[in-house]
Copies of this chain bind each other. A is one copy, B any other.
Amino acid sequence: MKIEILCTGDEILTGKTVNTNHSYISQRLTEAGLQTYWGTTVGDDRESLVNAFQQASQRADAVIVNGGLGPTVDDLSQEVAAEAAGVELELHEPWLQRLQDYYTSRGRQMPPNNKKQAMLPAGCEFIDNPIGTACGFAVNIGGVFFYFTPGVPREMRRMIDEQVVPRILKSSGLQIVTQLKRFHSFGIGESRADQMLKDVESLAPTGSVKLGFQSHYPQLETKLAARAANEEELQRVLAPLDAKVRECLGNFILCEDTETVEQIVLSLLAEKNATISTLEMASGGAISKRLVSADSDGTITRRGIVSRNLAELAASLGLSLQTESPDLDTAGQLAEQLAETTGSSHALVLLQSIEPVDDNTRSGADIFIAIATPDGTLKRQARFLGGHEWVQLGSVEMAIDCLRRCLLGLPVDEKIDFEQQG
């Protein structure tokens, strides 16, 4: 089944806005076992829209149109859709009522031009938008179904997931229950994960589960996109692959689906009635920022200390050091002092010793991580080699991952693909 994604709007065409909607829609189609065949982008221009609709109806089996459903004069999607389908625009009374209720509930009068958002091509199929004023619709143009969706990403995403993909799956005759299982890991690179999991798809009937990766360094996302005739069969086909991914990636799995590693760490701390303070060198406070952001009521994170200067970090805890360069013992000493000074049950320290290498675009960094806990202090040393940002992202992720491992009782010193082996 050939699907075209047709994005409309001057902001997208001129590049003022990056077209993340295309990639979202296309990813969701792939994950549902469907395929994007063509992508078109046109501006808010009647002639271009007419041509784009006509061409899409000639080459595709289904078309998803995104954007142009707003209340202003440059939003032309409904109008051009009606023209291309050879029908009139008709008032969709229930949607007009919803719009009026929406404004009334906010103590406002509906602006007259919003009525335009309830004018739909006669005979089209209405598609609900539970979180916005632009409803969607499906209409037959030249024998092909066109699904119209709003340009606002939040509204588009919900409509694609809940309404458009299921409709296309149904019309394609494919089975219609789908699930996307995601694992987020740190420490195994995409090519190695690909190699480790190369036979995993064969554990399910052909075509029922598709394996995919998305690398957002330092994290890797491993995705299992499954589809089946019903929920029970879906769980049955997914189970052996789910188990295999867990077996392969094991301790390297940080979190799953929509979780973040910060949330995992914060809830593990909360379970233990623990608190955490952090001290970081060179990373500019990246660890603190990530943990504090996930600490919704601010009761778990206590103090974060940041400096590029080791003596300054020590001075902030009333210590004076014998050494000028960071090492693992100093990291441990600072972690223990930080826990004591702040009364935190846990303290995480990341020290770094960075030297530029070769052409100055790469650095070699020795990193020293220590975590003070009520049961003793854990330590981890590693060496990274690469561009500045790459080294920073990797060392911050490793520090947070060590904390996660420590809280779960996992080893903190399993080698990862991103550190220099030695």
Contact = CB atoms under 8 A, between A and B. Distances in A.
A18 B23 contact: yes
Q: Looking at chain A's contact residues, is the secondary structure mostly helix, strand, loop, or mixed?
A: mixed
User: Assembly of this chain: how many copies?
Assistant: 2
Given A59-B51, A292-B308, A302-B312, A23 B27 contact: no
Given A284-B289, A312-B302, A316-B303, A26 B39 contact: no
Nearest to A26: B15
B286 A306 contact: no
Interface in A216-273: none
B304 A305 contact: yes
Contacts of A291: 284
Interface stretch (A40-48, A120-128, A367-375): A40-48
Interface in A1-17: 7, 12-17
Contacts of A305: 303-306, 316
The 10 closest A-B pairs by CB, nearest first: A39-B41, A285-B285, A298-B308, A15-B26, A15-B23, A304-B306, A284-B292, A15-B27, A284-B289, A285-B288
23 contacts: A7-B39, A13-B38, A15-B23, A15-B24, A15-B30, A16-B27, A16-B214, A17-B23, A18-B18, A37-B48, A38-B42, A39-B39, A40-B40, A40-B41, A284-B290, A285-B286, A285-B306, A292-B308, A303-B313, A304-B305, A305-B306, A305-B316, A312-B342
Interface of A: 7, 12-20, 22-27, 30, 36-43, 48, 51, 55, 59, 214, 282, 284-286, 288-293, 295, 298, 301-309, 312-313, 315-316, 342
